[in-house]
């Protein structure tokens, strides 16, 4: 149950843009948008390979390359191409089996002469052969007729800042056809090679500069199904020295293996993945489907076989946000991976080590030391974020934004995630293989950024932008200051850990980086960082210096002042800039990241203060409000924010434009946030590094939750009912696990189960 999503809606262009995201199939290497077989660039078809970027020319944004579409297929009847969106169509549906990552479509076209032509198509990008796209089609007509089938590779692709490919070569090497090309900026070769099998006759090739198709004539008998199969191999020079040769050889391997066996392998792989991470919600099929949908999207884009790429803010759904990797990955996706697939979490963090040089370059560029990570990171770690990152909707002029220059918290978010990874997995090899270097260099960056305030007699971070992007260039953003202080503390802990457990590499690293003096400075500074505290009267923590003195209009009133719904609220003249209206969780996020530091009253006061002032203008925001709400007993709100995060790309209404800029695509941070909201919010599960706390606050419809969770290599099955919590190690425990339920701490038995009763908190809605 709750594994299949289906859509039968009419396919206007706006709907089809969203379906392209929702029905994406991916395997961590390729993301293939959920458009229809007959779609072309107008309908935003895209095949994105992780890690391949290109800049089409001076002044244009560097972004992922949309590769030639090897999944193209159209039926032509009586000279007319059959297109679901153009009709007439008697029946149409698109569905995605989340459990097996297989997309299906079924359309019954009705021709003028009354002939009903049915196309069923099934597609997946193989999880066991990551360069391979596989599809199977079944065609049936209600009358005997002649159908033409066009199938092949469409290299005339949708681009936001293209074109990215040049030197196209179309080739026929029967039974294979291919397109190879090179990227414009670096000349990286790419190739898509297609194989197609069809019972039809009169097979001819149609070639244009950027397209190569085969045309088949299929003589159908009424009511008889005809099965066709396609394989497309997708390679780029980033990971293969000779993409065309690799494509040919993979197609031949697919031919030998056959569609059914490939599908079987793929399905088995996905089933095993789900066994390791499926969070079952009994009693609420809507929430179950939304959460599985979220986890599906995370699994579909997570790098499994490489640590040279990470997950971009829009996943592999297109070129939006320049395919940049933001803090989204470390803060909102990493907890899921660290607790369910630590090897993927490790890959994501190793990517930051692989791009450390880019972060060092950026720090130098701004006159700092250490590592200042890119706000939008690509293959080299250099910042793809431009200084004018938004266009004014009214004047059409680019607006100066300070995301790149001032969101220094990125260099604290990455160390935070490294600390979490270590605490959750207990694996210190990441520290030895680059993690410690990243933490040290980030700490060094903050050391060079801070200012001493003689008045406060503390160190401050001035001129920064916190997570709330509507307030740029502020002083002492609470989130930034706490996170920077955490980076210092972590740096000292890492140094002590390495010194104790790995003295020789510890010494070598300090020497290599010339870090001893810095470490000493960090030791002296760590307790003297100004960390904005709660007002003793109201318990509200000011988001930054002077925040509480800004104008304080109700959000609805401010939004009414917009002259265009796409108007940007931040920046120099933004409507929100001199008010207390914020874009997204900022203080509230910090409260979630440091749960042990704040009393429930403080969280409550801040939730009540900030929630009405938050536009929820970023998909990253809802999960923090959910987690914090759960902690203070606002269960209805916690549930609602959880559902917002989990269903954003399923049936939500995410922002599609900022100014005239298209920002559509999938929202993996919301997906990861949904998992966090379910696990740490509604189930109340937190791992502190030493103690597992379980304080469930199940929403009323949830009768039971079951989830697997890895803690320092031990896999636990946790079952929470409305009455009790049961923990069961899946294998005998290798480490001692202490659990706190209802304020009492117990040690989990090495084998067997532990069941503890708790009283379910009351649900108000
Ligand atoms: C948010 C950022 C986020 C980025 C990518 C922006 O709208 O304000 O916090 O990192 O989107 O998701």
Residue nearest to atom 1 of ligand 1 (CA): 618
Least confident of 34-48, 132-146, 201-215, 618-632: 201-215
Q: What pLDDT was estimated at residue 761?
A: 73
Section 544-549 average pLDDT: 98
Structure-token pair, residue 666: 């999938």
Sheet holding 102-110, edge to edge: 4-7, 89-97, 102-110, 116-125, 132-141, 226-236, 189-197, 176-183, 165-173
pLDDT of 202 > 70? The answer is no
Active site residues: 469
CA of 317 to the centre of ligand 1 (A): 16
**For the stretch 278-316, what's the b/e string if a residue is b when 16 or more beta carbons lie within 10 angstroms of its beta carbon?**
bbebeebeebbbbbbbbbbbbbbbbbbebbebbbbbbbb
- In ligand 1, the atom with minimum distance to the C-alpha of 669 is 12
- pLDDT at 1 exceeding the cut of 70: no
Q: Do you find a cis peptide bond into 163, omega within 30 degrees of 0?
A: yes
Q: Return the ligand 1 atom nearest residue 375 CA.
A: 10
Q: Is the pLDDT of residue 765 over 60?
A: no
Question: Which of 464, 469, 620, when mutated, tests ligand 1's pocket best, judged by the most ligand atoms within 8 Å of its CB?
Answer: 620
Ligand 1 mutation pick, 618, 654, 666, 669, max ligand atoms within 8 A of CB:
618
Q: What angle do CA 617, 359, 507 make, to 5 degrees?
A: 130
Is residue 534 a contact partner of residue 602, using CB atoms and an 8 Å limit?
Answer: yes
Which tens digits make up the pLDDT trace of 400-435? 999 999 999 999 999 999 999 999 999 999 999 999
Of the pLDDT bands very low, low, confident and very high (cuts 50, 70, 90), residue 85 is confident
Q: What is the pLDDT of residue 647?
A: 97
Q: What is the pLDDT of residue 763?
A: 63
Ligand 1 center from residue 424 Cα (angstroms): 26
pLDDT score for 759: 80
Residue 479 — pLDDT band, cuts 50, 70, 90? Answer: very high
Complete domains list, the chain, with CATH: 4-276 (2.70.98.40), 279-682 (1.50.10.10)
If you average pLDDT over residues 53-81, what whole number do you get?
97
Question: What spacing in Å lies between the alpha carbon of 555 and ligand 1's midpoint?
Answer: 20
Spatial distance between the Cα atoms of 106 and 96, rounded to a whole number of angstroms: 12
Which atom of ligand 1 is nearest to 324's Cα? 5
Average pLDDT of the residues in 442-465: 98
Q: Which atom of ligand 1 is nearest to the CA of 617?
A: 7
pLDDT averaged over the chain? 96
- CA of 239 from ligand 1 middle (Å) equals 29
Question: What is the reported pLDDT for 223?
Answer: 98
Instruction: Find the 467 Cα to ligand 1 centroid distance in Å.
Output: 8
pTM here? Answer: 0.97
pLDDT band (50, 70, 90) for residue 82: very high
Residue 101's nearest CA partner among 231, 235, 263, 317 is 263
Q: Which residues contact 259 (CB under 8 A, 6 or more apart)?
A: 134, 136, 229, 231
Ligand 1 neighbours, Cβ below 6 Å, are 313, 321, 326-328, 467, 469, 583-584, 618, 620, 669
Say whether pLDDT at 10 is over 70: no
697 vs 515: CA distance, rounded Å? 45
pLDDT of residue 732: 96
Q: What is the pLDDT of residues 313-345, one digit of tens each?
A: 999 999 999 999 999 999 999 999 999 999 999
Of 267-276, 729-738, 752-761, give the lowest mean pLDDT range.
752-761
The mean pLDDT value for 434-451 works out to 98
**Span from the CA of 618 to the centroid of ligand 1 (angstroms):** 6
Separation of alpha carbons 122 and 514, rounded Å:
57
Ligand 1 atom closest to the Cα of residue 583 is 8
Nearest CA to ligand 1 atom 12: 313
Ligand 1 pocket test: pick from 322, 328, 657 the residue with the most ligand atoms within 8 Å of its Cβ.
328
The CA 758 to ligand 1 mean position distance, Å, reads 38
List the single range of 257-261, 295-299, 390-394 with lowest mean pLDDT: 390-394
Alpha carbon nearest to ligand 1 atom 11, residue: 618
């Amino acid at each position: 149950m709750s594994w299949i999503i289906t859509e039968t809606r009419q396919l206007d262009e706006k709907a089809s843009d969203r379906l392209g995201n929702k029905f994406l199939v991916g395997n961590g290497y390729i993301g293939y948008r959920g458009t229809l077989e007959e779609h072309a660039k107008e309908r935003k078809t895209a095949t994105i390979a992780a890690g391949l970027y290109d800049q089409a020319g001076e002044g244009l944004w560097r972004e992922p390359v949309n590769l030639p579409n090897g999944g193209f297929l159209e039926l032509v009847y009586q000279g007319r191409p059959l297109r679901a969106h153009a009709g007439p169509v008697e029946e149409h549906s698109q569905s995605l089996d989340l459990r097996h990552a297989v997309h299906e479509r079924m359309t019954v076209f009705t021709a003028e002469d009354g002939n009903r032509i049915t196309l069923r198509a099934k597609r997946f990008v193989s999880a066991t052969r990551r360069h391979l796209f596989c599809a199977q089609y079944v065609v049936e007509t209600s009358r005997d007729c002649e159908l033409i089938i066009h199938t092949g590779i469409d290299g005339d692709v949708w681009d936001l800042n293209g074109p990215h490919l040049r030197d196209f070569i179309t080739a026929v090497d029967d039974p294979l056809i291919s397109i190879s090309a090179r990227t414009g900026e670096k000349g990286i070769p790419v190739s898509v090679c297609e194989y197609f099998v069809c019972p039809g006759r009169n097979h001819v090739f149609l070639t244009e500069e950027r397209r190569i198709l085969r045309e088949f004539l299929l003589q159908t008998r009424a009511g008889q199904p005809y099965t066709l199969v396609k394989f497309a191999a997708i390679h780029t020079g980033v990971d293969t020295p000779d993409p065309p040769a690799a494509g040919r050889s993979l197609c031949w391997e697919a031919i030998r293996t056959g569609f059914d066996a490939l599908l079987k392998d793929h399905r088995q792989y996905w089933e095993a993945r789900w066994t390791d991470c499926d969070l079952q919600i009994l009693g609420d099929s809507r929430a179950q489907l939304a959460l599985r949908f979220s986890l599906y999207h995370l699994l579909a884009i997570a790098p499994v076989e490489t640590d040279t790429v990470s997950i971009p803010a829009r996943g592999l759904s297109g070129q939006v946000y320049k395919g940049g990797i933001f803090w989204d990955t470390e803060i909102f996706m990493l907890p899921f991976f660290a607790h369910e697939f630590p090897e993927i979490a490790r890959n994501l963090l190793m990517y930051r080590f692989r791009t450390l040089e880019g972060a060092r370059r950026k720090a130098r560029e701004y006159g700092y030391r250490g590592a200042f990570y890119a706000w939008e990171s690509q293959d080299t770690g250099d910042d793809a974020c431009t200084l004018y990152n938004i266009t004014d909707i009214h004047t059409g002029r680019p607006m100066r934004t300070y995301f790149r220059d001032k969101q220094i918290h990125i260099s604290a978010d990455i160390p935070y995630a490294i600390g979490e990874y270590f605490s959750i997995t207990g694996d210190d090899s990441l520290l030895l293989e680059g993690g410690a270097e990243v933490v040290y260099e980030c700490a060094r960056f903050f050391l060079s950024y801070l200012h001493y305030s003689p008045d406060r007699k503390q160190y401050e971070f001035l001129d920064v932008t916190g997570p709330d992007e509507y307030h740029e260039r502020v002083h002492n953003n609470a989130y930034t200051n706490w996170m920077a202080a955490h980076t210092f503390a972590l740096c000292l802990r890492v140094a002590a850990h390495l010194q104790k457990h790995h003295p020789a590499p510890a010494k070598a690293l300090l020497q290599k980086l010339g870090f001893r003096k810095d470490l000493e400075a960090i030791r002296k500074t760590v307790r003297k960082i100004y960390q904005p505290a709660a007002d003793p009267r109201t318990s509200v923590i000011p988001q930054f210096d002077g925040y509480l003195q800004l104008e304080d209009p109700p959000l609805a009133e401010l939004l009414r002042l917009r002259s265009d719904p796409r108007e940007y609220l931040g920046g120099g003249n933004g409507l929100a800039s001199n008010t207390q209206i914020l874009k997204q969780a900022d203080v509230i996020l910090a409260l979630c990241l440091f749960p042990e530091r704040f009393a429930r009253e403080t969280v409550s006061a801040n939730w009540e203060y900030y929630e009405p002032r938050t536009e929820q203008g970023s998909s990253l925001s809802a999960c923090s409000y959910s987690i914090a709400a759960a902690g203070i007993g606002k269960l209805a709100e916690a549930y609602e924010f959880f559902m917002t995060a989990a269903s954003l790309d399923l049936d939500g209404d995410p922002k599609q434009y900022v100014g005239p800029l298209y920002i559509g695509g999938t929202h993996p941070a919301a997906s990861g946030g949904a998992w966090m909201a379910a696990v740490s919010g509604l189930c109340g599960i937190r791992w502190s590094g030493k103690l597992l706390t379980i304080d469930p606050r199940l929403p009323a419809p949830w009768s039971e939750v079951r989830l697997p969770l890895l803690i320092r290599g031990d896999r636990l099955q946790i079952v929470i009912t409305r009455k009790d919590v049961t923990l069961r190690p899946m294998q005998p425990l290798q480490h001692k696990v202490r659990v706190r339920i209802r304020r009492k701490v117990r040690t989990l038995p090495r084998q067997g189960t532990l069941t503890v009763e708790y009283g379910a908190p009351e649900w108000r809605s």
